[in-house]
């Protein structure tokens, strides 16, 4: 099969992947695998397949994956086995492939637009499940629990905003679609009720405001958000007995907030107590093996800890990484994040208007939303990690010789 044909299959597989990623578990694994195999075959045929990373960010990804494998083997066997390594292999390969694929500006932009379409489809799917009482919370069907779904949605919101603010000549119909989709996503994020994700979105938009220094855009965003909040509040007041109003009252009730905060503090206490034992500091207890600490003596021998609710993570991205993959795994993660931050700053500084294209906004979303939300919430895995690595990979691709801001 020719390289051109393989390229078409690649784009087909990755397009379907991003469309179904928040909705279908089995399908996403299948299309990820087909995309990876097709990509490797094409690169091999073209003579561009190298097993030795040449660029710092690729080296960082490879190092991170190698440390994940070592942490798995050092702690083998354990309950989740290779699941942790498999999950991280899946999202790291998405970064490597999208970064090095060499697609055209139009093709990368089409992938970004399909991400937005996939998010809207996922929201419809989640809404139907919620209304039919198949789920107690409004969330994506296959993007983790509410907190993880909201992080996924937060990344998509930044990508959507970037497509709206992009310098390309966007057709009026497409701009209208992007405005409506952004409105739907923001309303959905508020309704999901994850305070960590909303804080992440707010802080990221403040950062973008400082970086781009576009006052007119800021006024437009603030006005738009104010209208959304007013309309949202009005609907709740007009229909107080609807399923949506009752759920939103529950999500933002004082009791719910206090319960959530107390559980988070308890999770942090147990995580810090685990680190204080001085054990498993180098390689951790193994990826996705956090729950094993609940059976350790420092927990079982402490009445206070035994009465606390137990979790599968520390409610903090970096604490979870430190416990699961040790100091070495945490340093590898921080090194990768540092390189991403460096690239974000470099792209911004080299753009003459300090307003880079859509891929930069998407990359900031993939970088900032999981980290800020992860300070109070879920670790860097599940589908939101796949989406984050995918959009950051496209941002790195945008910084190559052929910019993604070319006219299409």
Overall average pLDDT of the 85-111 stretch: 92
Higher pLDDT, 109 or 208: 109
Of 309, 298, 297, 320, which Cα lies nearest the Cα of 376? Answer: 320
Overall average pLDDT of the 278-287 stretch: 91
Of 140, 145, 199, 186, which Cα lies nearest the Cα of 376? Answer: 199
At 350 the pLDDT is 81
Overall average pLDDT of the 351-372 stretch: 83
- 90: its two tokens: 């899946």
Overall average pLDDT of the 392-398 stretch: 93
Of 380, 378, 373, 347, which Cα lies nearest the Cα of 361? Answer: 347
Asked which of 145-149, 263-267, 282-286 is least confident by mean pLDDT, the reply is: 263-267
pLDDT band at 248, cuts 50/70/90?
A: low
pLDDT band at 255, cuts 50/70/90?
A: low
Task: In whole angstroms, give the CA distance from residue 408 to residue 404.
Answer: 9
- Contact between 144 and 384 under an 8 Å Cβ cutoff? The reply is yes
pLDDT band at 352, cuts 50/70/90?
A: low
Overall average pLDDT of the 356-370 stretch: 90
pLDDT band at 99, cuts 50/70/90?
A: very high
Overall average pLDDT of the 200-216 stretch: 76
Higher pLDDT, 142 or 210: 142
pTM of the model: 0.87
What are the Cα distances from residue 277, in Å, to 75, 270, 280, 282, 305?
17, 11, 9, 13, 15
Asked whether the bond before 77 is cis by omega within 30 degrees of 0, the reply is: yes
Task: Return mean pLDDT, the chain.
Answer: 84
- Which DSSP string corresponds to 336-357? HHHHHHHHHHHHHHHSTTS---
What are the Cα distances from residue 30, in Å, to 25, 62, 87, 296?
9, 23, 14, 37
At 320 the pLDDT is 93
Q: Say yes or no to pLDDT of 408 above 90.
A: no
Q: Say yes or no to pLDDT of 359 above 70.
A: yes
Task: In whole angstroms, give the CA distance from residue 114 to residue 19.
Answer: 6
Most confident of 203-217, 319-333, 350-364: 319-333
Dump pLDDT digits (tens) for 328-350: 999 999 999 999 999 998 888 88
Q: Give percent of the chain with pLDDT exceeding 70.
A: 84
Q: Say yes or no to pLDDT of 83 above 70.
A: yes
Q: Say yes or no to pLDDT of 111 above 60.
A: yes
Overall average pLDDT of the 137-149 stretch: 85
Q: Say yes or no to pLDDT of 402 above 50.
A: no
At 406 the pLDDT is 44
Please report, in angstroms and rounded to a whole number, the separation of the first and last CA atoms in the chain: 28
Q: Say yes or no to pLDDT of 407 above 50.
A: no
57, 375, 283, 389 alpha-carbon torsion, rounded to 10°: -30
Task: In whole angstroms, give the CA distance from residue 287 to residue 269.
Answer: 20
pLDDT band at 14, cuts 50/70/90?
A: very high
Of 140, 108, 175, which Cα lies nearest the Cα of 24? Answer: 140
Q: Which 3 state secondary structure label does DSSP give 234?
A: helix
Task: In whole angstroms, give the CA distance from residue 400 to residue 319.
Answer: 34
DSSP conformational letter for 293: G
């Amino acid at each position: 099969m020719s390289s051109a044909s393989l390229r078409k299959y690649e784009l087909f597989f990755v397009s379907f992947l991003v469309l179904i990623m928040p909705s279908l578990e089995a399908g996403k694994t299948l299309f990820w695998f087909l995309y990876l195999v097709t990509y490797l075959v094409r690169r091999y045929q073209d003579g561009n397949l190298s097993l030795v990373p040449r660029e710092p960010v690729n080296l960082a990804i490879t190092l991170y994956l190698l440390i994940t494998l070592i942490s798995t083997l050092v702690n083998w066997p354990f309950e989740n086995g290779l699941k942790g390594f498999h999950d991280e292999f899946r999202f790291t390969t998405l970064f490597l492939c999208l970064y090095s694929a060499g697609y055209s500006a139009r093709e990368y932009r089409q992938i970004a637009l399909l991400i937005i379409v996939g998010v809207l489809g996922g929201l419809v799917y989640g809404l139907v499940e919620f209304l039919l009482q198949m789920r107690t919370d409004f969330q994506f069907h296959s993007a983790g629990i509410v907190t993880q779904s909201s992080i996924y949605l937060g990344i998509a919101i930044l990508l959507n905003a970037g497509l709206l603010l992009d310098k390309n000549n966007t057709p009026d119909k497409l701009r209208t679609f992007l405005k409506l989709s952004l409105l739907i996503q923001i309303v959905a994020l508020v309704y999901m009720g994850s305070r960590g994700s909303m804080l992440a979105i707010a802080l990221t938009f403040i950062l973008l405001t400082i970086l781009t220094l576009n006052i007119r855009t800021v006024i437009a965003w603030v006005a738009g958000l104010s209208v959304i909040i007013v309309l949202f509040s009005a609907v709740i007041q007009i229909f107080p007995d609807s399923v949506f109003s009752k759920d939103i009252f529950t999500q933002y009730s004082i009791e719910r907030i206090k319960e959530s905060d107390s559980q988070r503090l308890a999770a942090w206490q147990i995580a810090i107590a685990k680190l204080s034992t001085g054990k498993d500091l180098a390689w951790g207890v193994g990826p996705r093996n956090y729950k094993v600490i609940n059976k350790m003596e420092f927990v079982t021998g402490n009445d206070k800890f035994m009465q606390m609710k137990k979790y599968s993570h520390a409610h903090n991205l970096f604490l979870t990484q430190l416990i699961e993959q040790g100091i070495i795994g945490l340093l590898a993660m921080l090194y990768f994040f540092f390189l991403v931050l460096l690239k974000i700053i470099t792209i911004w500084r080299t753009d003459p208007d300090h307003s880079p294209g859509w891929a930069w906004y998407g990359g900031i979303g993939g970088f900032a939303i999981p980290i800020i939300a992860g300070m109070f919430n879920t670790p860097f895995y599940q589908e939101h990690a796949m989406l984050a690595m995918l959009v950051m990979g496209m941002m790195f691709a945008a910084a190559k010789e052929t910019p993604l801001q070319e006219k299409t």
